[in-house]
Amino acid sequence: MRVFRSVKDLGNLEEALREAAEIKADRFKYQELGRNKTALLIFFNNSLRTRLSTQKAAMNLGMNVIVLDVNQGAWKLETERGVVMDGDKSEHLLEAIPVMASYCDIIGVRSFATFESRENDYEEKVLEQFIKYSGKPVFFMESATVHPLQSFADLITIEEYKECKRPKVVLTWAPHPKALPQAVPNSFAEWMNEADVDFVVTHPEGYELDPQFVGDAKVEYDQMKAFEGADFIYAKNWSCPGVTRPEDYGKILSQDMNWTVSQRQMAVTNNAFFMHCLPVRRNMIVTDDVIESPRSLVIPEAANREISATVVLKRMLEALK
């Protein structure tokens, strides 16, 4: 595997889930695979889980790891070609990428949406340059539009906890004080569409996800109706994806606290598990009692980030041979 950004990059999903279970049973089984290989993890944005779980995954595989926080200690990077660099950006990605690539074997990049332009964000301008100019395998550690390591961990968690063969999984929008990207809901929708689940998305009008991710998933605008009989509730805020009104891209269209996941909505589910990728704003996205309940999976879900990253790095190492 040379690039990891989509569920499709994994090939057979059942096989990938079996591999995840194998690695979870013995996470050091492939320690020799990464000997004398280096993973470079580049962060343009903050992180707790992705940073730690991906480092741990690389160490599970015997790799060396270098972590670069671009905004802390590195030269400020220009990403647009043709710009007269007379501002605060001292180095261009076009030089920085091949230089960074010369010190490693595999590159992970985190670079969020900037909301300056829907076109730029959805074209993945930063990540595409890493793929084009590094000459190394590149995996997405949350880009402008996708967060595949998270969705893989979410799917592993659903597989581990499901109590029926084909559970009902509901992705629900919830309010947040800041405009957040669509990367997590985009990927979650993409991955659930490929998984053996009954998938429903619920959000206020105007928050429709990009068709390339949401596909033919059922969209229900009445949150209570969507929650009926659900086995898993996956909460997340996202800003306007600009599908129906491009001029609203990245805007907050609603802060309706009736959408905060509470016992009121959970009561109509099939005693559903609660999921969120974290970090989460309590009593905006979800009430204290729901996130602290025995049916909350937020911690096992975060722990599975180590497993999803180990599978992805293992496959990239195998492709280097």
**Which residues are at the interface with ligand CP (CB under 6 A)?**
47-50, 142, 150, 277-279
Q: Which is nearer to ligand CP, 269 or 304 (CB)?
A: 304
Phi, psi of 64, deg, nearest 5: -90, 150
Q: How far is the CB of 276 from ligand CP (least distance, A)?
A: 9
Handedness of CA 224, 225, 229, 233 (dihedral sign): negative
Report whether 68 contacts 100 (CB < 8 A): yes
The residue written with tokens 């091949």 in the block is 98
Cβ 153 to ligand CP shortest distance, Å: 8
Name the nearest CA neighbour of 145 among 172, 120, 175: 120
DSSP letters spanning 161-214: H-SSSS-EEEEEE---SS---SHHHHHHHHHHHHSSSEEEEE--TT-PPPHHHH
Name which of 168 and 276 has its Cβ closer to ligand CP: 276
**Shortest distance, position 91 Cβ to ligand CP, whole Å:** 25
Q: How far is the CB of 128 from ligand CP (least distance, A)?
A: 21
Beta carbon nearer to ligand CP, 50 or 237: 50
| Token reading at 88 | 């605060």
The residue (of 219 and 278) whose beta carbon lies closer to ligand CP is: 278
**Which regions of 18-122 does DSSP assign to beta strands (E)?**
38-43, 64-69, 77-78, 91-92, 106-110
Q: Which is nearer to ligand CP, 104 or 277 (CB)?
A: 277
Nearer to ligand CP, 147 or 168 (CB): 147
d(CA 106, CA 136): 6
* Residue 285: CB minimum distance to ligand CP, A: 13
Please report how close the Cβ of residue 49 comes to ligand CP at its closest, in angstroms: 4
For CA atoms 78, 82, 87, 92, give the dihedral sign: positive
Output the smallest distance, CB 178 to ligand CP, in A. Answer: 14
- 201 and 218 in contact (C-beta within 8 Å)? yes
Considering beta carbons, is residue 150 or 172 the nearer one to ligand CP?
150
**What's at 229, amino acid-wise?**
G
Q: Which of 188, 191, 260, 252 is nearest to 227 (CA)?
A: 260
Non-local CB neighbours of 316 within 8 Å, separated by 6+ positions: 1, 2, 4, 106, 137, 139
Q: Which CB atom, from 30 or from 115, has the smaller least distance to ligand CP?
A: 115
Q: How far is the CB of 48 from ligand CP (least distance, A)?
A: 4
